[in-house]
Amino acid sequence: MTRYLKNMEKEIIIDNNLDEITRITQFIEEMGMSLKLPSEITMSINLAIEEAVTNIIQHGYPKGISSDIILKVNIAPRTLTFYIIDEGLSFDPTAKESPDNTISLEQRLTEGLGLFLIRRTMDKIEYHTNGTSNQLTLIKQIDNNFKQEATLKTNLCKIEGVTVLAVEGRLDTANTNEFNSVIQPLLNDSNPDIILNCEGLSYISSSGLRSLIVLQKSVLQHRGSLVIEAIRPEILKIFEMTGCSTLFTIR
């Protein structure tokens, strides 16, 4: 079964402001969900796009200068092509720079980490500029034969007064209503003591995060506690990118 529409395009326009990165994240998440991409592919794409756009925002514009950045994706069979268009300072990430031996190895590794991640994540990188507009093209090859991930599974039990909720699969827009139904009884508990086991959680979207925030608010209002444990590094990164890591106790 063909998973992609030939030459289908989507785009988003953001301000050159780091606060806009969350809109990029949501854009990529929704694309991945609509194409039924495995979560590791969606997250790797998100990482590369975030690094590229962040670099443009931080280094492409003088302080106080406002401008638009366009992210466009072309969806074709087996190939995703991302175009990042900006009007900032020209910088070619595909160019090989001569090593600067005057700075420490640690500094060189840190400053070049973003470009390294982009190169490792994407299959092809191209850069063009006409002097006023820059276009960074990132190409990702997709195997159409990947196995679609399981949908959401939950298991709710109570052990010695502690409620343990295990979540497995994808907590995305399609599964949020199901998850909300599971946690609905917990919203009325007095002094709840809840452990959310995320060992099997493979993907979370902004809708899933909102459901967790609703649960956390209810727990705090009822003088209880909520602990998220066994969370995967790639899922934790989504929490950190959106600022949600500060709202929860994660261990």
Last residue of a domain, one of 141, 169, 195: 141
Flag whether pLDDT at 100 surpasses 70.
Answer: no
* Total domain count, the chain: 2
3 located within any domain: no
One domain for residues 77 and 101? yes
**Band (96; pLDDT cuts 50, 70, 90):** low
Flag whether pLDDT at 116 surpasses 90.
Answer: no
The 10s digit of each residue's pLDDT in 53-63 is 988 998 888 88
* pTM, to two decimals: 0.60
One domain for residues 40 and 132? yes
For 116-140, the DSSP string reads HHHHHH-SEEEEEE-SS-EEEEEEE
CATH number of 193's domain: 3.30.750.24
65 located within any domain: yes
Minimal CA–CA distance to 59: which of 138, 157, 134?
134
One domain for residues 127 and 55? yes
245 located within any domain: yes
227 located within any domain: yes
Determine the structural domain holding residue 242 and report its residue range.
153-250
For 15-56, the DSSP string reads ESSGGGHHHHHHHHHHHHHHTT--HHHHHHHHHHHHHHHHHH
1 located within any domain: no
Last residue of a domain, one of 99, 117, 141: 141
One domain for residues 133 and 159? no
Range with lowest mean pLDDT among 90-104, 153-167, 213-227: 90-104
> CA-CA-CA-CA torsion for 22, 23, 26, 28, nearest 10 degrees?
-110
One domain for residues 42 and 135? yes
One domain for residues 79 and 135? yes
One domain for residues 114 and 180? no
CATH number of 86's domain: 3.30.565.10
**Dihedral sign from CA coordinates of 43, 44, 47, 53:** negative
**Band (144; pLDDT cuts 50, 70, 90):** low
The 10s digit of each residue's pLDDT in 16-33 is 998 888 889 889 988 888
pLDDT of residue 150: 58
One domain for residues 59 and 120? yes
